[in-house]
Amino acid sequence: MPCDQMDVRQLLLAGVALLLILAHLFSPAAGVDDTSVLLLIVLAIALYGGELTAWLAAMRELAAEPPRTRPRTKAEQPAPAKPSPANPVRPAPEPRPDAPAPEAPRAAAEKPEQPPSSELASRIRQVSYMVEHARVAAATNDLPAGQARWETITMIMEAAAGQPRAALLMIWSALDERLRASTSARDGVAATHRLVEGGVLPEQFADAFEAFRTLRMEIVQEGDGQVSEAVVWSMVDIGASLLALIPPRPETK
């Protein structure tokens, strides 16, 4: 850079640097030590402190700004994907006027409707309450009782080998046989009415027995897996409770 284009600060720094170089040439022992370098740095900061501060502030603002993305030019945009020659995109064929209409998908085989689990559980609780009312009425009227409920359940479970549907069949057979044997009636329903009229069983027993009989028939008509084993065992327990209310037929001499 020509000397006539340099400002005063540049001339001052150049003069000091030239003075140090001449001192080093004429007196190599003195040399340019760290003190001389530090003097030059301090002098440069003193002369150009304002410009240095402005430059640092500009760099800090540039670092704080988020990076700007310029929009792609048309030449830089990716070309649209072309269909592969091996698998060309073919338009769907138009249906012919004389073509038959497509068949609707066939519905799956309809399963027999079964009462919802919540409804079935509610009905079982209702029958259980009816049996409990009959038991309380029998105890209030001091009516004779039959075999203990737990003894009946133990015998049924052993005979059924843990199969709930077999246990339900056995408890129903035991109920029907006990009722018919007590009155010599043709079936359990007729025998129940005779025992209630004779004061052997409470009136609540007839309603509980009829509700149990109806619900048992619905469960038996359902296939395996349609009704849970817990529901069937609940019915076995209710049947044993009904059987415990029927007194045994007195032995004739």
199 belongs to a structural domain: yes
pLDDT higher than 70, residue 113? no
Residues 6+ apart with CB under 8 A from 195: 179, 182, 183, 201, 205, 246
Query: Of 216, 220, 188, which Cα lies nearest the Cα of 124?
Result: 216
Q: Are residues 121 and 241 in the same domain?
A: yes
Q: What is the pLDDT of residues 51-84, one digit of tens each?
A: 767 767 777 776 666 555 555 666 566 666 655 5
Place of tokens 């338009």: 91
- The whole-chain average pLDDT of the chain stands at 75
Q: What are phi and psi of 212, to 5 degrees?
A: -65, -40
Q: Are residues 128 and 220 in the same domain?
A: yes
Q: Are residues 54 and 163 in the same domain?
A: no
pLDDT higher than 50, residue 235? yes
Enter the tokens of residue 163.
């199969």
Domain count, the chain: 2
Identify the domain containing residue 165 by its residue range: 117-245
**pTM (2 d.p.):** 0.52
Q: Are residues 133 and 202 in the same domain?
A: yes
Q: What are the CA-CA distances from residue 237 to residues 24, 114, 192 (Å)?
A: 118, 22, 19
pLDDT higher than 60, residue 118? yes
pLDDT higher than 80, residue 27? no
Of the pLDDT bands very low, low, confident and very high (cuts 50, 70, 90), residue 149 is confident
